[in-house]
Each structure stands twice: as C-alpha cells, then as structure tokens.
Structure 1
Amino acid sequence: MATPVTLPELGESVTEGTVTRWLKQIGDTVAVDEPLLEVSTDKVDTEIPSPVAGVLLEISAAEDETVEVGAVLATIGEEGESTGDAAPAEEAPAEEAPAEEAPAEEASAEEAPAEDSAAPSEEAPEEPAGEASTPEGDETTPAVAAEQDGGAPAGSDDAAPADDAPQGEATPVTLPELGESVTEGTVTRWLKQIGDEVAVDEPLLEVSTDKVDTEIPSPVAGTLLEISAAEDETVAVGGQLALIGAAGGAAPSKDSAPEAEAEQAPEPEAAPEPEQAPEPEPEPKQEQQQAPAEPKQAPQAEKPAPAAAEAPAAAPSAVKPDGRQYVTPIVRKLAEREGVSLDDVEGTGVGGRIRKQDILDAAAKARAAAEAPAAAPAAAASGPDVSGLAGTVKKANRIRQLTAIKTKESLQVAAQLTQVHEVDLTRVAALRQKHKAAFLDREGVKLTFLPFIAKATVEALKAHPNVNASYDEESKEITYHAAINLGIAVDTERGLLSIVVHDAGDLSLAGLAQRIDDLASRARSGDIKPNELSGGTFTITNIGSFGGLFDTPILVQPQAAMLATGAVVKKPVVVTDADGNESIAIRSMAYLPMTYDHRLVDGADTGRFLTTVKKRLEEGAFEAELS
C-alpha cells in the first residue's frame, strides 16, 4: 500500500516550507530514514527522510514549490505499484449508481440546482463561458458534455467542483489558517491580475503574517474575475481575497445561477449523455481544466482563448505576463539580503525559475569581483550591502519587522535594566595564548575567549538558579529551570540567530567550544535544526566581536537575563599584589553587561551572579581542562 510523505512540523512558528532539491527521483528505491528531498523554511534548511522503505512512486511537490506543514510531498510504495490505479477502480461503483438513477434525479426540481454547473443551450447568449459549444446530442466530447449537463450523474458532480470553477458561478478565494495564533494577514503582492487564467494550486498572491510569508494558491482552475483585497490590505482569516470563475465570465455571474437552476430541472433530454463520461474518467482533471477553454472559441472567437488555456497546463514559467520574474518569497528575501538584482540572475530551476542556489552563486561572484580590485573594503562586505540605500525608502523586510515586534514586546513585557561589571581576563588571555595551537589540533576548533566566559557563566547559573528562571505574569509563578540551555547570539547572512546549547551544564570547556562552533557553523550555512534554535534559558551575546565595549541587551522572552561580552582590550589599571601593594599594570580587560528582568531578579541578585562570573574568570583556573 502506498504511503504518503508529508511535510513535518519544523518548528513552533514554521507553517510552510519550499522544496529546494529532490535527492531521489521517481522509480528510485529508498530505505527507511533515507533523505528524499531538501526543504527550506524561513528559519532552517533541512532534509526530509522517507518514513518507509520502498520505491518513490510520485513526487507531489516540485522544486521551488512552497507547501504547508502536513501537505503531501511524495508517495512511497512497492515496486510496480501505481498511485493512480486504485482511484478509478474505487470511483467506478460510485459513478454507476447515479447513472442508473439519472431519469429520476433529472425529473426532480431539487436535484437539478444541486448539480448545476452550466446553463442549457437556450442560455448561450447569457452564458458565453461555453455552455452552448457542445450540442445536447453531440457525443464527440463526452467530458465537456458531462460537465455541461445539469444531471452529471456520471461522476462529474464529484470531480468538477473540486478542480474547476463552476461554469455559472464564481468560487471565492479566502485567507486560510496560517498558524495557531495567526488571525490575519497582509496582501504583499498579487501574482495574477484580473482576467488571467489560473490552474488549480497555482499561486495567486503573496500574504505576510507576523510569523510567516506565504503564497495563496487558487483552489480551482478558471479565470481571476475579481480581486477583493488590494496590496498592503490586511484581511482576517477566512476573509475573501478574490473570485475565480469560468473563462469569459465576470463576478456578477453569480446572479445568473438562479436562472440556470430554474431552467435546468425540466431538461430530461440530456439523460443519455452522462453515460459517456465513464470512458474518459481515468483522466478527469486534464479534461476539466481544458473544458473552459474549448467552449470559449465558439461565442468569443476574437479572444485568443486556446493560448490562454494552455498556459496553466504548461510547465511554470519564470517570466510572468507582465514581464516580471517570478521567485518564491524565500528567494526574494535572500536576494535582498545579498544585494543581488533578480534581473541579473539566470534561473536554473524548473521553467527557468530562480532558485536559492542561483542567488548564492550570484552573490559569491559579486563578492569575488569586489574583492579583486581592493582587499581593504573586505571587512565592510561581510555584512549586507547598504551602499545604495542613501536617499531611498524601502519597506522593511520580514526579519526586520519581526525583530521590531519581538524587541518591542520584550521591553513592554519585562522590567529590564542593565548592570555592568569589568573583568580582568589577563590570566585567561595567557592560557589561551599558551594552549590555542594544541587545542586546535586536539579538538578541531579554535580556542577563543567565549568558551571560558560560557563555562564561567554555566557554573554561576548552577550557583544562582534564580537567574536561570522564567516568570509567568498570568499565573504569578516563577519556573526555576532544571537544565541550563545556553543561548549564543550568532551573526549570519540571514540575520541574527540565537543558537541553543542544550544541557550546557554537562559540558566541559572543550565540549562547550566544540558545541558552540558546530552550532554557529551550521547556523551560518543554513543546516541548523529548529530545536537547536529554541528552548534557551539564558543567553550570551558577543558584542565584542566588532569592538563593542558594552551594551544594554534586550531580553529573549521569557528568559530572566542576558549577558553581553565586550571587547577584550589592554589598558593600564591599578592592581594590588598579595601584600597589598598597589601598582599600575597593563591588563587585558573587558566589560560584562547583563540585562535582567526586575520582576524576578533584583539588582543585588545580579551583582552576586556577575561577581561569581568575574571571580571565576580572574582566577583563570582552567589549566586542567586544557591539558
């Protein structure tokens, strides 16, 4: 029996993913947990494994296609099994029963409106969508006849409404549920315009929410008759976005439905025609998608109907009718971050579509070209390209919008203030200098100041569990976490991410160094997993990497505190020896600012915590862990 492969949950706020690459093709044999494809989300790039062993029978989501969590990506079954064989066999008995009852059903005034999908031939002038193109006695196009016939007892009542817009009606396109807490979305861009032909599941528009950017597909095939929500308009979940109807129709076509229903009932002559439908039944969707196109030629020969009808059936083109290049939201965001013009990129995806790798390749070429003439600006090139921003106005990208929302919410929720201590890292600097070469050879990672600070912080959190805590304002309860899950802020091309070292209290200094390096590397390459970006109980942010002395970090909710590490600089300070004698010496000094939530941590608590960290670092007793 065939087994569907669906898009699993990839994080608390991830509701969709884009297929970036298929690692297996139809007919390939796969083992349990063998990677089938790669998927990209707004937080992580990951591989989707096969849930069972078997043969890849069908690929349901093409490369560069965006699918929702839970959607079918592929089908795995036994060799020689076909995903399409079982469906027609199961549908056939259901279709025979209505065929036998056709005379009774067509004689009923109640049944005719329910089955109404087209007007009779007398209504041809009012319904130019194509109802009159197939005469009642014409059996040369049974699929079209079955669709047009009000009785449709041969099964078209099941297939046509699901995949095609009803001939006399318009199908509303509504904003679907995009997450548990998402109640509305903002239309960011329409990909189709009024009058455009659309296929089933073809993207109509892009919508942005506070958690995700996504495309809304068409539920049926037909023509875009009406756009109900303009760009930048906010719509509630369930709100109408557009209307899809029969080709050549218009939004008012809804009004003609009652007339069609009223005149449909007394048409018993059409009863023999539905018997022709079972013959083409194995291919219902293809005929239904073409049905609106064929009738258009008779009453509206002046319109290039056939060409328009073929467009949705063909492979998706990278160039839309208005000449603009079509790309997925993920690719567009990446292009913005990399400063790459989509007009200068040649797509290698299906139909010439631009893929994520195309943007990365273009960005790499641009960086190489910029570094060739002058190496001096290389440091500035490490961040996003901002050279052309002066004098312009741009809409904030989604990451910036989310950063604005979350940081503002954090400041509004918690009573935050910052305390700063200065620490002498001279002994740590000497240890690092002494052991860094051997440490690199033995552990495979560089020995920086961060693992020393992380180790001292973890030990301090064990001694001060009130800082490794969270406060619930609704229940007025404080949770003192048993595990120490240490968050580390990492600057990546995608933006600022907070990796999480779970159970950091169980790791040695070398273990912390390896774990931080591994997570940071995978965060920058996009191979990080969702659970490695969540669940932190305390966070460290290294502001010293760009020479920052101290800062006032904003808390990651619901954590109680965040420690910043300033740049280590040499400067003259007053030191006191064992005998109490004071002198001025050059020492390696750094600031340790810590923001804390005053709702559950007091200034004295913060002072005690930072003093513990400071003493541990100034003692520099890490020799045993470095040998």
Structure 2
Amino acid sequence: MAAIARGSSALFRRLVRTTTMTTETASDVERFLRRAPHRGAVVQFKLSDIGEGIMEVTVKEWYVKEGDKVSQFDSICEVQSDKASVTITSRYDGVITKLYYDADDVALVGKPLVDIETESASDVIQEEDVVETPAMAREEHTHQEIKGLKTQATPAVRRLAMENNIKLSEVVGSGKDGRILKEDILDFLARQTGAILPPSPFQERQTPPPDPPLAAAAESVPRRPAVSFHKAMAKSMTAALAIPHLGLCDQVDLSRLVALRAELKADARGHGVNLSYMPFFIKAASLCLARFPILNASLDQSCQNITYKVSHNIGVAMDTALGLLVPTVKNVQLLSILEVARELNRLQELGAAGQLGTADLSGGTFSLSNIGSIGGTYAKPVILPPEVAIGALGKIQVLPRFDASGHVIRAHVMNVSWSADHRVIDGATMCRFSNMWRDFLQNPSGMLLHLK
C-alpha cells in the first residue's frame, strides 16, 4: 500500500477501472492511501575514509539503536583509530533499521555501518551518487564530526569546501553552535594561499580563557592511555630507530622575552588568549624554517626523494590523559604570535579533554617538545617520521650570568636540544638554524622585522 501511495492519482483511477470494486470500497481505499506513510528506501550508510591511510577502526560507542529516528548531523557512533576518536554523524533524516556492529567490534572503511530508512526516495539517489562518484566522496567526509568539534554546514558551504579541496573537520566554524559559514571557508583558504581578505567574523571571534576549576579537575584525572595510542607510538618509534639522529644542544638567554611576555599577557588576555612562551618558540622556529627549508622537509622510505613542504605545520608534544600526543599548529608562516597562541590554547583544551581529532594530529612538518613544562632540563628528542627534525625545550631557570660590563646579573636561561636526520641534514645546517632561533628569542624585537 505504501508503494501505491507514492503513485499518482491516475494510477489509482486505472486500478479502480480494472478491478471489481464498488464506489464505497474505492472511497475507503483512497482514504487509506492518503493516510499511508510516504517512506523512502533503506540505504546502507558506509564508513567513509577518515584519512591517514586508516582502513579499520574500533566502534567504541553507539549513540543510536534500531528504530531510532535521526536527523542530519545527529551523532550515530564514536569510532577509535590508532590516532584519534571520531564521531560519525548522519547525512540525512530517517530511521535506523540495522546496526552492523556491536560495541568494541572492528569496522572496516567502505563497509556499511548502519541501514537508514530515509524519509523520501530522493535521499536514496543522492546517497548512491555520493558512493559511486569519487569527486563527491570527499563531501561524505565533511559529514563526520571530530569528537568535540561539530562540522555543521549548509550544502552551499560544503560544496565550496569540496571545490577547494578543504576538509570541514579542519575548519573552525564561527556560526551558531559551531556551524561553518562561507566566511570561515574563505578565511581558511586565505591562510592556505597567503591571500589577504577583509576581516571576517572568525578573525574577530574571541576565545574565552580556560576555566581554572575544569583545568584543575583534568589534572587530577589518572592517566589511562588508550591501547590504540600505545600502538601508534610503538609504530612511530620503531620507524624512528632507522633514522641516524644528529644531536645538538645549546642555551638561550630568555631574559628579554620574559619581560616582553609580562607586558603582553594582559593585552592577550583581553583577546581571550592565554599567552605562554610557546607561541614565541613556535613562531621563531617558523621564521628559521623559511631560511632553512631542508628542516621542514620529509624523506621517503627509500631515501631517494626529499619533499620540501610549503606549510609550516609545527607539532607540539603534549602530555595528555591518553598519553603523549603531538597536535599541530597549521600554517604558522601565515599566523601572528597572537593567532598561534589562540590555536595552541584550543589544542591544549582539547588535549586535556581527550578530544583531539585526526585533523589536529596529522600533517606535521616539524616538531617541538616542551619537556620543561614538567620540569626537565635536557632531553634527547626522537624524530617523528617522516619529519627530519625536532627540538626539545627545557625548563627556564634563573641563573647567574655576566653582563657586558662584567657584572653578575640574574638571567632566565633555557636549554634546547635538537635532533635531526643526519641522512639529509649536516651539523653545520642544524647549528646555523639553532643560532638564528636563539637570536630571535634573545632579542625578540628583532622578530618584528621578519613577521608578515
């Protein structure tokens, strides 16, 4: 009957003419058909590619059950790869008719997750087009939600992102409830290409400082690293053993930077940003990478090809409840120190909550590890393949030093330890990079001449 209900009135009239049906019976059938639900077909909702070559994930939690009604952007389930947690959201409106996996089962990319009975037949055609057309497959990824960061957007905005090969999971939305607007896509594109656009709502938005009670609560949570993150670390560090590491250590007098940060902290707080020393370290590294691009390169496994990266995606090692993670601050070469600080605040908050997504943890080209935040003085950092260099920063100590007149003064001194891939980077290059980085931080006003 439901199928007949979707037919035209002409079809119903032919049915009446070709069957022995009284007028009263025909009227009863017509009234029934008008009340019959107009349902669409059942569609298999498949697990799309979540990047980084991941082919399987573990289903950690279902947010729906069979018979539940869902709308676009509603959460369906949370899956866990060896890199991050990802929440999968619905593409369209409908009713869940089947779950293909139980909790803790391994789900395969490209295979069905759930069956959904759509509310109209047109949804079926759109879904089939998405599955069969490679160019549109990227759009399916935009309907996923990196845990804690909804990727809600209108079809027009999704189309704009797809045309520019932008993943919505990498864009911060400035609309209501984090919805991504056209201006957010244009702003993201400008950062990628270096174009200059008029100020957008994204640029004017202020990020509130983290809530101290929440931060304190996060620190009190026992560390229980996820098994998948241990696997990822083991895999990465095993690959790092094949790299001949070149080590270099130096000391940096941060006395002027300490004074400068003290002056700027209040102003940064007025913009909703907690200004630490790390944004200065990151920006100084980016300025040096522009001068020594070999340190922002990658080497293939056969050691035959070196790829120089245009973007300075600087990873920052963080000690989180899930273990050691290295989220990246993207396109540092295009960001101001304040913008670097804002992005670093965002990554730190997500890391403390265990909500760093794949987009935050991938794409790094150079890394820094701030071991000094815990209390270490020296460290021997291990390169994260396919990167070719990494730095470890020690704690800042107040130590006696001699000034230009030979008088003993108080100085804020930090040790830095560099590791480089000796197959492509020699000691002289690493030392020159370190000297330039040290000079920028010892004389931070000199950075102004090179900031864009």
- The TM-score, its normalising length taken from structure 1, stands at 0.46
How many angstroms apart in 1 are the aligned matches of 2:231 and 2:78?
A: 27
SS of the residue corresponding to residue 521 of structure 1 reads helix
The 1:558/1:384 distance shift into structure 2, 3 A limit, reads same
Q: Which amino acid aligns with 1:418?
A: G
Aligned counterpart for 1:2 among listed residues 42, 49, 55: 42
Where has structure 1 moved over 4 Å in runs of 4 or more?
A: 396-402, 622-626
The 1:450/1:622 distance shift into structure 2, 3 A limit, reads farther
Is 1:28 paired with 2:69? yes
The 1:76/1:496 distance shift into structure 2, 3 A limit, reads same
Unaligned runs of 5+ in 1: 82-366, 369-377, 387-395
Say if 1:6 and 1:71, in contact at 8 Å, map to a contact too.
yes
How many angstroms apart in 1 are the aligned matches of 2:231 and 2:99?
A: 33
Say if 1:60 and 1:74, in contact at 8 Å, map to a contact too.
yes
Question: Shift of residue 428 of structure 1?
Answer: 1.1
How many angstroms apart in 2 are the aligned matches of 1:45 and 1:453?
A: 29
Deviation by residue 1:511-565 (Cα, 9 ceiling, x = unmatched) = 1111122123223323222132122110000110111111110100121100111
Is 1:589 paired with 2:417? no
Q: Which amino acid aligns with 1:49?
A: T
How many angstroms apart in 2 are the aligned matches of 1:506 and 1:607?
A: 25
Say if 1:44 and 1:526, in contact at 8 Å, map to a contact too.
no
Aligned counterpart for 1:18 among listed residues 59, 70, 83: 59
SS of the residue corresponding to residue 523 of structure 1 reads helix
SS of the residue corresponding to residue 77 of structure 1 reads strand
The 1:23/1:458 distance shift into structure 2, 3 A limit, reads farther
What aligned pairs does 1:68-107 form with structure 2 within 5 A after superposition?
68-69=107-108, 70-79=110-119
Is 1:467 paired with 2:295? yes
How many angstroms apart in 1 are the aligned matches of 2:446 and 2:69?
A: 53
- Alignment-derived partner of residue 444 in structure 2: 620
Q: Which moved more, 1:63-72 or 1:501-510?
A: 63-72
The 1:408/1:64 distance shift into structure 2, 3 A limit, reads closer
- Alignment-derived partner of residue 326 in structure 2: 498
- Alignment-derived partner of residue 86 in structure 2: 46
SS of the residue corresponding to residue 567 of structure 1 reads strand
Aligned counterpart for 1:441 among listed residues 262, 270, 294: 270
The 1:410/1:40 distance shift into structure 2, 3 A limit, reads closer
How many angstroms apart in 2 are the aligned matches of 1:399 and 1:56?
A: 34
The 1:61/1:525 distance shift into structure 2, 3 A limit, reads farther
Say if 2:70 and 2:90, in contact at 8 Å, map to a contact too.
no
Greater RCO, CA 8 A, separation 6+: 2
- Alignment-derived partner of residue 346 in structure 1: none
How many angstroms apart in 2 are the aligned matches of 1:47 and 1:407?
A: 28
Say if 2:329 and 2:344, in contact at 8 Å, map to a contact too.
yes
How many angstroms apart in 2 are the aligned matches of 1:462 and 1:602?
A: 17
Question: Shift of residue 21 of structure 1?
Answer: 3.6
Say if 1:20 and 1:40, in contact at 8 Å, map to a contact too.
no
Higher helix share: 2
The 1:566/1:16 distance shift into structure 2, 3 A limit, reads same
The 1:620/1:382 distance shift into structure 2, 3 A limit, reads farther
Among all aligned residue pairs of Structure 1 and Structure 2, give the percentage whose two residues are the same amino acid: 28
- Alignment-derived partner of residue 284 in structure 1: none
How many angstroms apart in 2 are the aligned matches of 1:501 and 1:613?
A: 18
How many angstroms apart in 2 are the aligned matches of 1:611 and 1:417?
A: 16
Question: Shift of residue 2 of structure 1?
Answer: 2.4
Question: Shift of residue 385 of structure 1?
Answer: 8.1
Is 1:509 paired with 2:337? yes
SS of the residue corresponding to residue 608 of structure 1 reads helix
How many angstroms apart in 1 are the aligned matches of 2:409 and 2:439?
A: 19
Q: Which amino acid aligns with 1:458?
A: S
The 1:592/1:61 distance shift into structure 2, 3 A limit, reads same
Say if 1:61 and 1:67, in contact at 8 Å, map to a contact too.
no
Say if 1:415 and 1:599, in contact at 8 Å, map to a contact too.
yes
How many angstroms apart in 2 are the aligned matches of 1:500 and 1:533?
A: 6
Q: CA RMSD in A?
A: 3.1
How many angstroms apart in 2 are the aligned matches of 1:624 and 1:406?
A: 37
- Alignment-derived partner of residue 407 in structure 1: 237
- Alignment-derived partner of residue 598 in structure 1: 422
- Alignment-derived partner of residue 58 in structure 1: 97
- Alignment-derived partner of residue 422 in structure 1: 251
The 1:45/1:475 distance shift into structure 2, 3 A limit, reads closer
- Alignment-derived partner of residue 357 in structure 2: 529
Say if 1:542 and 1:565, in contact at 8 Å, map to a contact too.
yes
Say if 1:19 and 1:62, in contact at 8 Å, map to a contact too.
no
Larger radius of gyration: 1
Say if 2:320 and 2:354, in contact at 8 Å, map to a contact too.
no
Unaligned runs of 5+ in 2: 1-40, 122-215
Aligned counterpart for 1:518 among listed residues 342, 346, 363: 346
Question: Shift of residue 614 of structure 1?
Answer: 0.7
How many angstroms apart in 1 are the aligned matches of 2:438 and 2:332?
A: 19
Say if 1:489 and 1:499, in contact at 8 Å, map to a contact too.
yes
How many angstroms apart in 2 are the aligned matches of 1:42 and 1:385?
A: 15
The 1:59/1:524 distance shift into structure 2, 3 A limit, reads farther
SS of the residue corresponding to residue 47 of structure 1 reads strand
Q: Which amino acid aligns with 1:20?
A: E
- Alignment-derived partner of residue 609 in structure 1: 433
Question: Shift of residue 457 of structure 1?
Answer: 0.6
Aligned counterpart for 2:278 among listed residues 424, 433, 450: 450
Say if 1:14 and 1:41, in contact at 8 Å, map to a contact too.
no
Question: Shift of residue 441 of structure 1?
Answer: 2.7
The 1:460/1:416 distance shift into structure 2, 3 A limit, reads same
How many angstroms apart in 1 are the aligned matches of 2:380 and 2:446?
A: 29
Q: Which amino acid aligns with 1:22?
A: Y
- Alignment-derived partner of residue 546 in structure 1: 374
Q: Which amino acid aligns with 2:117?
A: G
The 1:410/1:587 distance shift into structure 2, 3 A limit, reads same
Say if 1:21 and 1:37, in contact at 8 Å, map to a contact too.
yes
Q: How many residues align?
A: 314
- The TM-score, its normalising length taken from structure 2, stands at 0.63
How many angstroms apart in 1 are the aligned matches of 2:368 and 2:401?
A: 26
How many angstroms apart in 1 are the aligned matches of 2:301 and 2:106?
A: 37
The 1:573/1:58 distance shift into structure 2, 3 A limit, reads same
Deviation by residue 1:3-49 (Cα, 9 ceiling, x = unmatched) = 22122233424512214141687352513x44333334443222212
How many angstroms apart in 2 are the aligned matches of 1:398 and 1:78?
A: 35
The 1:529/1:35 distance shift into structure 2, 3 A limit, reads same
